[in-house]
Chain A
């Protein structure tokens, strides 16, 4: 293998580059990134970066020394627009083509959008540029901030805005925030964090429209279904977004997309890579519903067609219950969609991500996928830890030419909100019982707690609020496959 190309220059792409060199690959290494920035860490964007505690230099994932050691060709600020597996070539937006023997797909995911979100004052928070723009706007004095979605990004951003002295309201379509991740009992505890942090939390209500000067964008009642704020791959979310896109058709050329999104799987395929991505390939390869969905997005989906930027300033958010919340700033945190649009027609199997086996290997043995874009062994995780763990295995398999290793980690995520550190590890299922084994989850002043999720006498997952040490111990035991985790003593 003489040339390996990594498409995606964020966390998992960088880790893949490191692994390639660490595992002895000495050939040509090309790294393509659609952002102009060198790899940076995203988790602080919604937290310390937004509040000004961290600056951009502290976000960097590499230093010049390491960058030099990697001996890679960095093509930054350039999108990949296609993969031709027949000639083993990665096609770039600037017209170039990179012949490659091996490919690592690390294109991540893009923030889900809403019709009308082009209004000034409306933000998503996914990239450094997103965070810069929002941070700048938050420094202009007290604002009324409405956050749509109480998932991790929504909650962390709301927390940061509140810490900066803004008046914040969070809207969550589901009855409780983080319901799919944490289950009802612990989701209720996390809902309380918002209130304790001085933020108003409105749940069980959808967004009907984003209102602005000179524009009203109907969103219909599509957001009424709780799934919209969910994380990775909730097909319910995709279904709900279909309704959104349909409504948006009134504002532009998106009607066709709406139908296509009905497949639920490939929502937003068109968004991340914009128009031109699927030129000439639409419908030419049969991946069932996927191809059908990918054809129309040539029209560039919701954002681009909803109207020109700067045509108005946001004034409020209309809810499906009839209320309208006045807003100077609206932050949309309703999840992300995997950036697979550029792979349409490549023969790779796509379905809410790039389909891979347990070893991150796609349907082509010389192509692996890692991070948010990869659907590994049937599930897709948008977790920092997955993005750092998968590349080692993916690269080993890529260099071996077949799957010789599989990823076998315990899912782990964390979130910092309102001064509390939430950590979760494991695989919770509906119906698992929750047992508080340390601290008190209902204490009005917080103080932290450790909760074990259990099923048939085995521990399936662990949740901690401000209990990092016992959490770490249980997480390690879960990773070792210890089914019956010893409860930490109450005294520790």
Chain B
């Protein structure tokens, strides 16, 4: 379980990169949902947390591959492989990411 930041420091529509290995992107959607996925686009080296967040989709800033934050699956080319998803909780106002590998359930 990795503390990310205070919930109030990640406004809706924003995202943040956590420097784990591999890095994880945490997203706060306009609808108020929190999601975490592996931050690196599976197509080519680019940080998804620097991408374009729209609904539950994140568009890669380099080549416009798009991923569904809920499943990690790409919704369009050029990405073809899914990114891992991770569980997110908020405890005492702090966002935490539970890495999928730690829980033994690679998504």
Contact = CB atoms under 8 A, between A and B. Distances in A.
Contacts of B98: none
A328 interface: no
Contacts of B45: 48
B78 A388 contact: yes
B46 interface: yes
Contacts of B59: 472
B77 A388 contact: yes
Contacts, number: 35
A468 B44 contact: no
B50 interface: yes
A25 interface: no
Contacts of A406: none
Interface in B35-85: 44-47, 50-52, 59, 61-63, 77-78, 80
A468 B46 contact: yes
B80 A63 contact: yes
Given A469-B51, A469-B61, A41 B77 contact: no
A259 B66 CA distance: 50
Interface centre among B46, B47, B59, B63 (most CB of A within 10 A): B63
Contacts of A471: 61
Interface string A432-475: 00000000000000000000000000000000000011011100
Nearest to B52: A472
Interface of A, secondary structure class, is helix
A44 interface: yes
Interface in A414-430: 414, 421, 423
B42 to A, nearest CB: 10
A66 B51 CA distance: 27
A385 B50 CA distance: 19
A472 B51 contact: yes
A468 B61 contact: yes
Interface in B10-43: none
A74 interface: no
Contacts of A15: 77
A423 B62 CA distance: 8
Contacts of A18: 77
B44 A41 contact: yes
A472 B61 contact: yes
A384 B63 contact: yes
Interface string A55-66: 000000101001
Contacts of B47: 468
A323 interface: no
A66 B80 contact: yes
A476 interface: yes
A18 B76 CA distance: 12
Nearest to B80: A63
A468 B62 contact: yes
Nearest to B51: A472
A468 B50 contact: yes
Given A63-B80, A472-B51, A43 B61 contact: no
A18 to B, nearest CB: 8
B77 to A, nearest CB: 7
A388 B46 CA distance: 18
Nearest to A43: B44
Nearest to A389: B64
A421 B41 CA distance: 15
Contacts of B44: 41, 43-44
B50 to A, nearest CB: 4
Contacts of A63: 80
Contacts of A472: 50-52, 59, 61
A388 B50 CA distance: 22
A15 B78 CA distance: 10
A91 B39 CA distance: 47
Nearest to A65: B80
Contacts of B46: 468
A404 B13 CA distance: 37
Contacts of A469: 50-52, 61
A61 B59 CA distance: 19
A414 B62 contact: yes
Interface in A271-310: none
A68 B89 CA distance: 41
Contacts of B52: 469, 472-473, 476
A473 B50 CA distance: 11
Most chain A CB within a 10 A radius of its CB, from B45, B62, B78: B62
A385 B64 CA distance: 10
A102 B7 CA distance: 56
Contacts of A385: 63
Contacts of A423: 62
Nearest to A48: B45
B58 to A, nearest CB: 11
Contacts of B77: 15, 18, 388
Given A15-B77, A388-B77, A469-B61, 18 more contacts: A18-B77, A41-B78, A63-B80, A66-B80, A384-B63, A388-B78, A414-B62, A423-B62, A468-B50, A468-B62, A469-B50, A469-B51, A471-B61, A472-B50, A472-B51, A472-B52, A472-B59, A472-B61
7 contacts: A15-B77, A18-B77, A385-B63, A388-B78, A423-B62, A472-B59, A473-B52
Interface of B: 44-47, 50-52, 59, 61-63, 77-78, 80
- Which 3 residue pairs spanning A and B have beta carbons closest together? A468-B61, A468-B50, A469-B50
